[in-house]
Amino acid sequence: MVAQLDSKASIRGGCAGDKGCILVKRVNTRNGPTAQESFDCATLSIICFDLETSPTGGGLRFGATELVGIIRAMVITIDGPAGSGKSTAARKVAARLEVPYLDTGAMYRAITHVALLRGIPLEDEQAVVELARQTRLEVDCGPTHARVRADGHDISEAVRSLKVTQATGAVARIQPVRDLMVAEQRRLGRRLGSFVTEGRDQGSIVFPDADMKFVLEAELEQRALRRLRDLQVDGEEVEFREVIYDLKTRDANDSVQWSSLLRPDAAIVIDTTDLSIAQVVDCLLGHIRAVIPWPNASAQS
Ligand code: DC
């Protein structure tokens, strides 16, 4: 017997020509449980196949297991200013959904770090673009961590220094560098299938067809306090007013990237000023669960 897909609502995509990672619930229906019962005890796996050649509708069978639900690859974007809590939230939401997390800021930071290391003046746009073109970036998008390597060297920690943080804006402003990063992010996205990505332009420019788009915001002082705490944990000696100045400068440069998402219905905007990280994560998962029947999207952190 092949279980019927139990709810049309849980089937997303399935268009001929769609390719990519598809999350399926696999169950062994030898004892004949109903689809809903099977769903609860199912094993999760992400497989890749080509919908053009796969049977859709009705039941699907792969060997001894049967598929009771299909969800098209899910892309979730989280944009917003520094200190809005989006990195931690994106990482935790990805871990909960058991999908990779793409830290796009780390890519701009990586180019900046290499430029500083090689003494390339950041005002020399041509030299920075050339460097970005030649540097082999590898971003390891695990569900609980993101590591970045440039030409084989792991620079995940180095890219978080205050020096790199303050210099990255100059690199991220160079349009040809952005074009290279956007192309690379799309390439990574195609490989990952389902993922949570975080940055400034993810929902607006890089993945305009994302399933869900969020913008996280918070008041400047609160964001500065969060940044200050992070920097102090990293052993940086920095004053509050310095952090405020840095954030204001970055906001002025960065906000243009996600401003189109602030139009009505373009994205879900969440003000995190008075929310703990756990509350932000619950809020995001709540929105996701309401739209996408993704397993593990239960709202408790
Ligand atoms: O999110 P973050 O602080 O790691 O970002 C580092 C810098 O890179 C910051 O100046 C904004 C910029 N950035 C960007 O312009 N576009 C992105 N998609 C991600 C980051």
Q: Is the residue at 300 inside a domain? A: no
**Are 141 and 253 in a shared domain?**
yes
Q: Would you say the C-alpha torsion 35, 37, 43, 46 has a positive or negative sign?
A: positive
Ligand 1 nearest-atom number relative to CA 165: 6
Q: Is the residue at 89 inside a domain? A: yes
**Are 51 and 101 in a shared domain?**
no
The residue among 21, 43, 72 that closes a domain is: 72
Give CA angle at 283 (70, 269), nearest 5°. 100
Residues 67, 5: Cα–Cα separation, whole Å: 8
Q: Is the residue at 189 inside a domain? A: yes
The residue among 15, 45, 72 that closes a domain is: 72
The helix or strand, by DSSP H or E, that contains position 187, with its residue range, turns out to be helix 175-192
**Are 62 and 81 in a shared domain?**
no
Helices marked H in 20-117 — which ranges?
A: 35-40, 86-97, 105-117
Q: Is 79 touching ligand 1 by the criterion CB < 6 Å? A: no
Q: Which of 163, 182, 200, 202 to mutate to test the pocket of ligand 1 (most atoms within 8 A of CB)?
A: 200
**Are 144 and 200 in a shared domain?**
yes
The helix or strand, by DSSP H or E, that contains position 103, with its residue range, turns out to be strand 101-103
**Are 189 and 135 in a shared domain?**
yes
Q: Is the residue at 57 inside a domain? A: yes
**106 C-alpha to center of ligand 1: Å?**
7
Global confidence as pTM: 0.79
Q: Is 168 touching ligand 1 by the criterion CB < 6 Å? A: yes
Ligand 1 nearest-atom number relative to CA 185: 18
**Are 169 and 45 in a shared domain?**
no
Residue 116 · residue 167 · CB < 8 Å = yes
Residue 113 · residue 170 · CB < 8 Å = no
DSSP SS3 for 239:
coil
- Tens-digit pLDDT string for the chain (301 aa): 122 233 322 333 333 333 333 444 444 444 443 333 333 323 333 333 333 333 444 444 444 344 444 445 689 999 999 989 999 999 999 988 888 899 999 999 999 999 999 999 999 999 999 999 999 999 987 666 679 999 999 999 999 888 998 899 999 999 999 999 999 999 998 888 788 999 999 999 999 989 899 999 999 999 999 989 988 888 888 899 999 998 998 888 899 999 999 999 999 999 999 999 999 999 999 998 887 766 566 545 4
**Are 108 and 19 in a shared domain?**
no
Ligand 1 nearest-atom number relative to CA 201: 18
Residue 6 · residue 36 · CB < 8 Å = yes
**Are 136 and 157 in a shared domain?**
yes
**Are 86 and 60 in a shared domain?**
no
Q: Is 77 touching ligand 1 by the criterion CB < 6 Å? A: no
Closest residue (by CA) to atom 20 of ligand 1? 105
Q: What DSSP state is assigned to residue 298? A: -
Residues 204, 24: Cα–Cα separation, whole Å: 29
Domain count, the chain: 2
Residue span of the structural domain in which 95 resides = 75-291
Torsion angle of C-alpha atoms 164, 170, 172, 176, degrees rounded to 10:
-130
